[in-house]
Amino acid sequence: MPEGPSVRKFHHLVSPFVGQQVIRTGGSSKKLIPAGFQSLWLQDAQVHGKKLFLRFDPDEEIRSLGSNPLPEPLQEGEREEATREQKQTLGPNGQKTSAQPSQSLELVPLGDSGSECLGADSPAGGAERWLQVRFGLFGSIWVNEFSRAKKANKRGDWRDPIPRLVLHFGSGGFLAFYNCQMSWGSSPVVRPTSDILSGKFHRGQALEALGQEQPVCYTLLDQRYFSGLGNIIKNEALYRAGIHPLSLGSLLGLPYLEALVDHVVEFSADWLQGKFQGKQQHTQIYQKERCPAGHQVRKEAFGPPGGFQRLTWWCPQCQPRVPPDELEQPSSPRSPGPFLHRTLPFRDSDA
């Protein structure tokens, strides 16, 4: 599924529609009936990690100002940009390309939010009406235009992806949601201390989690401690910190763990900034055959026993699996050191 930077961008695209009424609907969803949004008002939008939360109410009463902040790293000066994006007309270029529509179910438990699904086709009667959106691998939101096919499907057809949900607003603009799971729930539980793109991200909590006696590549994907972190960020941060994916956190010194957290935060923030600047994401190790130093890259699926296995790319030379007392002092993004050959500047990578 899209990682934290992508979902923050989706939140940014949705934000200008807050305070507007849905006047027309569409989409292919059968379990979350699009017509159920008719005449509702979009009252709020929040983001946490890989999840987007949208509040809909049947009346025009808007919650107090400040309840709908833009993504924290990019609040200043970005609302105008979002408004311009909202006014775009139909055309061949979009915010993000979506693949063939997913066949996965649209109703899912709300997971670690602690909420339960309250209804399939309409908001709960007396509860707050929050729509949780969880995106599939190629999930996306388009503003005032639809995704277009960029290649033929397996049958050889050039069919455009079908949106799960389309919401037309009173301003004349619309949002199209692709490849996502949606469910109604009560007020979302948002924990900014675990969100890697939040200004309130708690480094101490992250370091304590990484120090567990398990491979650090498992801990990094644990959304309880690194909400919004996905496989791309995992691979890139480990490479830049010079840490083997299967290294036990309990055997790594604090300087290594601090460097890893630094790279997680800076790579994620740089990736998000690049999205707003229209830059294509470039990686140093993810899906590469050779690392920037020219070494052969290895690829293998790693994951906890009985858990989900994720493909991991790493360089055996730049990320050696050796006893801790034989490791050099790691460098951090802010203070290049002896690992400079494996810890390249973020700005040069356009991550």
Q: What is the pLDDT of residues 159-217, one digit of tens each?
A: 888 999 999 999 999 999 999 999 998 888 778 999 999 999 999 999 999 999 999 99
Instruction: For residue 312, list its beta bridge partners.
Output: 300
Residues classed as catalytic: 2-3, 50, 310
Q: Residue 94 pLDDT more than 60?
A: no
- Please give the pLDDT value at position 296: 97
- Please give the pLDDT value at position 122: 54
Both 26 and 119 in one domain: the answer is yes
Both 140 and 245 in one domain: the answer is no
Q: Residue 315 pLDDT more than 80?
A: yes
34-38, 78-82, 97-101, 151-155: least confident range: 97-101
What share of the chain in percent tops pLDDT 90?
Answer: 59
Q: DSSP secondary-structure letter at 159?
A: P
**Residue after which a domain boundary falls, among 144, 160, 185:** 185
Among left, alpha and beta (phi > 0; psi -120 to 50; other), residue 126 is alpha
Both 97 and 197 in one domain: the answer is no
Angle at 178 between CA 4 and CA 1, to 5 degrees: 35
**Residue after which a domain boundary falls, among 151, 169, 185:** 185
CA distance 56 to 85: 22
Among 191, 60, 183, smallest CA distance to 123 is for 183
H/E stretch holding 177? strand 174-185
Both 35 and 162 in one domain: the answer is yes
- Residue 289 in 3-state DSSP? coil
Instruction: For residue 175, list its beta bridge partners.
Output: 143, 167
- Please give the pLDDT value at position 136: 86
Q: Which two tokens stand for residue 330?
A: 């790691």
Q: Residue 140 pLDDT more than 60?
A: yes
CA distance 17 to 23: 12
pLDDT band at 120 (very low <50, low <70, confident <90, very high): very low
Q: What is the C-alpha R_g of the chain?
A: 21
4-8, 155-159, 249-253, 284-288: least confident range: 155-159
pLDDT band at 154 (very low <50, low <70, confident <90, very high): confident
Q: Provide the domain limits for residue 44.
A: 4-185
pLDDT in tens, 205-231: 999 999 999 999 999 999 999 999 999
The residue assigned the tokens 């690194």 is 226
Both 37 and 150 in one domain: the answer is yes
pLDDT in tens, 48-90: 999 999 999 987 654 443 344 444 443 333 344 344 444 433 3
Number of domains the chain contains: 2
- Please give the pLDDT value at position 31: 83
CA distance 291 to 275: 24
Identify the residue with better confidence: 85 or 278: 278
Q: Residue 276 pLDDT more than 70?
A: yes
Both 144 and 218 in one domain: the answer is no
- Contact status, residue 128 vs residue 72, Cβ threshold 8 Å: no
Both 254 and 314 in one domain: the answer is yes
Both 8 and 132 in one domain: the answer is yes
- CATH label of the domain that carries residue 63: 3.20.190.10
Both 168 and 300 in one domain: the answer is no
- Please give the pLDDT value at position 318: 96
Both 104 and 205 in one domain: the answer is no
Q: Which two tokens stand for residue 131?
A: 């729509």
**Residue after which a domain boundary falls, among 151, 185, 219:** 185
- CATH label of the domain that carries residue 198: 1.10.8.50
Both 177 and 241 in one domain: the answer is no
Both 169 and 204 in one domain: the answer is no
Average pLDDT over residues 310-323: 89
CA distance 79 to 14: 11
CA distance 213 to 207: 13
Identify the residue with better confidence: 63 or 116: 63
Q: Residue 16 pLDDT more than 90?
A: yes
